[in-house]
Amino acid sequence: MNGKIDLVEQAEHGKGISQKDFFEGIPEITVNQSEPKREDGKMSNEATQETRPRMAKLKEYFGRNWRRNYLTKKDQIVKLLDELEIENYEFIRIASRMLIDDDRCIVIVIVKETENGHLRKIVIDTKLGSPTWQQFIDVTYNIGADSDVKIIIFDHGFLEQDGKSDSPGDEFMIWNLVARNNRCGVHTYLASATGTIIDGKKMGVSYLLTEGPTDCEEKNGAQLPSKEEVERAGFWRGCYHFVVGFEPFEPEDDIIGGSGSCYCAGRNLVTTPSWTDMGFYMNVVGMPGSEEVKWLWEKRRSKIEKHYPGCPITACKRSGKPYKIAVRVSEQPFTDCIYSTLDEKDDYAEWVSYHERRFVDLIDELLEDFPGKEKLEHVHPSKQMEYL
């Protein structure tokens, strides 16, 4: 990336975004080192308990207006960079601070490379609670698109439900996305933040790195997915899979290409939903030249049309051979879902699941009459994935 600095004064997403604002930091804290003792000179149990470190959430540590005191001073920024082992940069200034709703703060920091003196930008996006897809999208594609270092901070202990989030949150899934960024050469960090209090004194905020550039090897030719691909995955992986009760994916899984369920229908077919800007579809898919697909289209098309009155039904072909029947259940574009609230996305996930069950039942019922189904050579569903 080049050294050009383009300061962003307001975030692209979220409600209640303030203009660029600068606050004075919290006063320096002095810890009283003297310990109360009993008459025999030994430390009292009460004193021992009071001096035991206590971990605090950011909102507890800084107070209700936590963003007014969080990451407002040079030493706070430097401590964060040091604990995440982000080296070879010299702090220059805090360029802007953006406050989103009441649970998120984005800080843009200007630094200088120690080797050549080039100015660089660091974006730090902090959210109470679990890290979210919107944080990742914003630091990667929106406000932090031109930053050289991207940092996502979350307060893992924060459990308060604000009801305002427009993005699902999950540490494991965001870890997967951050790791992919780093494989593509986009330096991204994911870390949790915790305040420490001893004897009533605030000792500072500590950071625990979950994922960073040194945790995975950059791969030659690795392509960063588009913003649209990540937004789609945010619905399928973050909302739909949760609603329908999918098992957690494995660490090596690529969550970008996520979609709905794939159910086996008959012997050699799968049914699956797809949602694009053209509308929502239910599909039954086989290999090119599938006898079942051909039979459904030629012999049972009228029954499909009766089940979905007024819905366009299309036979898709590869090299002139039918392999998929697609039913457009709704003209509603996927963008309507992307910019909905999290509760609305959950409702959409329930809606998708309903249409899946309805379509699977129909195809299974129709295939009961398919002749010679036991004579067909079995095709493993994994071979059909490229045709979905």
Angle (CA) 371 374 380, round 5°: 115
Q: Share the mean pLDDT of the chain.
A: 80
Q: Which residues contact 33 (CB under 8 A, 6 or more apart)?
A: none
Which string of b and e fits 285-308 if b means at least 16 CB within 10 Å?
A: bbbbebbbbbbbbeebeeebeebb
Which of 246-250, 314-318, 327-331 shows the lowest per-residue confidence on average (mean pLDDT)? 246-250
Confidence label for 246 from pLDDT (cuts 50, 70 and 90): low
| Cα gap 276→99, rounded to integer Å | 33
pLDDT of residue 172: 82
Q: What is the mean pLDDT of residues 362-376?
A: 79
Over 70: is that where the pLDDT of 24 sits? Answer: no
Is the model more confident about 363 or about 167? 363
Burial (CB count <10 Å: 0-12, 13-18, 19+), residue 51: middle
CA-CA distances (angstroms) from residue 76 to 48, 199, 280? 29, 21, 48
> How far apart are the C-alpha atoms of 4 and 215, rounded to whole Å?
28
What's residue 121's pLDDT? 97
Question: What pLDDT is attached to residue 16?
Answer: 34
Q: How far apart are CA 275 and CA 232, in angstroms?
A: 9
pLDDT per residue as tens digits for the range 68-95? 889 999 999 999 999 999 999 999 999 9
Q: What is the DSSP string of 135-192?
A: HHHHHHHSTTTT-SEEEEEEETT-----S---S-B-HHHHHHHHHHHHHTT--EEEEE
For residue 169, list its beta bridge partners. Answer: 132
Report the pLDDT value the prediction gives residue 252, as an integer from 0 to 100. Answer: 57
* Number of Cβ within a 10 Å radius of residue 63: 11
pLDDT-based confidence at residue 10 (cuts at 50, 70, 90):
very low
Mean pLDDT confidence for 361-380: 74
3-state secondary structure of 94: strand
pLDDT at position 23, please?
33
| Residue with tokens 């004897």, as numbered in its chain | 199
Assigned token pair, 242: 């949760």
Least confident of 48-62, 172-186, 238-252: 238-252
pLDDT in tens, 320-367: 888 999 999 999 999 898 888 888 988 999 999 999 999 999 998 998
Of the candidates 385, 206, 160, 189, which has an alpha carbon nearest to the alpha carbon of residue 287? 385
Residue 239's pLDDT is 84
| 310 burial level (CB within 10 Å; 0-12, 13-18, 19+) | exposed
Dihedrals φ, ψ of 55, to 5°? Answer: -85, 135
Residue 165 to residues 49, 67, 68: CA-CA distances in angstroms? Answer: 38, 17, 21
- In this structure, are residues 216 and 252 in contact, taking their beta carbons and an 8 Å threshold? no
pLDDT of residue 260 exceeding 90, the answer is no
Backbone angles phi, psi at 60, to 5 degrees: -70, -40
Return the SS3 of 92: strand
168 or 89, which is more confident: 89
Q: Does residue 34 have a pLDDT over 70? A: no
Residue 5's pLDDT is what?
37
Query: Tokens representing 211?
Result: 């994922």
User: What pLDDT shows up at residue 320?
Assistant: 87
Instruction: Give the model's pLDDT for residue 9.
Output: 35
Q: How confident is the model at residue 120 (pLDDT cuts 50, 70, 90)?
A: very high
Domain locations along the chain: 45-224, 260-387
DSSP 41-75: SPBPHHHHHHTS-EEE-HHHHH-TTGGGTTT-SHH
Yes or no: say if 141 and 227 are a contact pair by the CB < 8 Å rule.
yes
pLDDT (average), residues 145-159: 84
Structure-model confidence comparison of residues 138 and 319, the more confident one: 138
Band of the pLDDT at 259, cuts 50, 70, 90? Answer: low
Which among 98, 161, 106, 172 has a CA at the least distance from the CA of 133?
Answer: 172
Model pLDDT for residues 182-240, shown as the tens digit of each residue: 999 999 999 999 998 888 888 889 999 999 998 877 777 778 999 988 988 888 887 88
Check residue 33 and report its DSSP letter.
Answer: -
Q: What is the largest CA-CA distance in the chain?
A: 97
